[in-house]
């Protein structure tokens, strides 16, 4: 299973936190998805996406270029609900919610104000991955999701490299019996882009 972050959204371009808000891809994000499709011409598995528009649109562009365009949705692979951070820039969050911003920067924020806890998010994402594997145990699966979802799995497996996931960057995972394992380092499907 290859999990990859979506292309640039309109809010990524503006530096706004999204969480479960649903802005579409920017023009640059569509171009990123088209470039990613070029490196995936040999992929023959199933395409899945988070139900948020930026992930779905990325998956649709790629699937249409390398397959029949079919993309199945996986609601539980949505990004973490960032609550009151949603729609704000880093500066606006630091100004309006300095304690929460400081806790986030120090790695101590366990729940976003009016949002989701990190533990709930981790369990939701892991459950979604296990469900996909249960339905397609012998197939390759390409999943367009979010940086937070990929990072949550990496942290769960002790494989997080300490930096965020870039646009159209992802990682291969494999189910071995009842456990999930990391198969590769992160893979960039397009040259570095600003997120």
In a domain, 50, yes or no: yes
Total of domains in the chain? 1
User: Which among 32, 79, 116, 169 is annotated as catalytic?
Assistant: 79
CA-based radius of gyration for the chain: 16
Query: Catalytic site residue 169?
Result: no
In a domain, 109, yes or no: no
Say what the pLDDT of residue 192 is: 67
β-partners of residue 182 are 173
User: Which among 6, 32, 60, 169 is annotated as catalytic?
Assistant: 6
CATH number at residue 39: 3.40.50.1240
Say what the pLDDT of residue 195 is: 46
Containing domain of residue 13, as a range?
2-81+116-188
Say what the pLDDT of residue 176 is: 81
Query: Catalytic site residue 6?
Result: yes
Q: Enter the pTM of the model.
A: 0.94
Say what the pLDDT of residue 193 is: 52
- Angle, helix 118-135 to helix 147-156, in steps of 10 degrees: 90
**Which regions in the chain score pLDDT beneath 50?**
195
In a domain, 194, yes or no: no
Q: Are strands 72-74 and 46-50 parallel, antiparallel or unpaired?
A: parallel
β-partners of residue 179 are 176
How confident is the model over 146-176, as pLDDT tens digits?
999 999 999 999 999 999 999 999 999 998 8
In a domain, 56, yes or no: yes
Percent helix, strand, coil in the chain, to 5, is: 40, 20, 40
Say what the pLDDT of residue 178 is: 75
In a domain, 104, yes or no: no
């Amino acid at each position: 299973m290859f999990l990859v972050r979506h292309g640039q959204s309109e809010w990524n371009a503006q530096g706004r936190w999204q969480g479960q808000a649903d802005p579409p891809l920017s023009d640059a994000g569509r171009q990123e998805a088209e470039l990613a499709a070029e490196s995936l011409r040999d992929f023959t598995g199933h395409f899945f996406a988070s139900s948020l528009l930026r992930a779905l649109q990325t998956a649709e562009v790629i699937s249409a270029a390398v397959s029949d365009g079919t993309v199945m949705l996986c609601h539980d692979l949505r990004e973490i609900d960032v609550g009151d951070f949603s729609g704000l820039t880093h500066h606006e969050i630091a100004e309006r919610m300095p304690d929460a911003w400081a806790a986030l920067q120090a790695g101590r924020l366990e729940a976003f104000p009016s949002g989701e806890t990190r533990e709930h998010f981790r369990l939701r994402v892991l459950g979604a991955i296990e469900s996909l594997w249960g339905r397609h145990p012998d197939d390759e699966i390409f999943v367009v999701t979010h940086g937070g979802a990929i990072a949550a799995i990496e942290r769960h497996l002790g494989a997080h490299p300490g930096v965020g996931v870039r646009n159209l960057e992802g990682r291969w995972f494999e189910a071995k019996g009842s456990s999930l394992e990391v198969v590769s380092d992160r893979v960039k499907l397009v040259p570095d882009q600003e997120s």
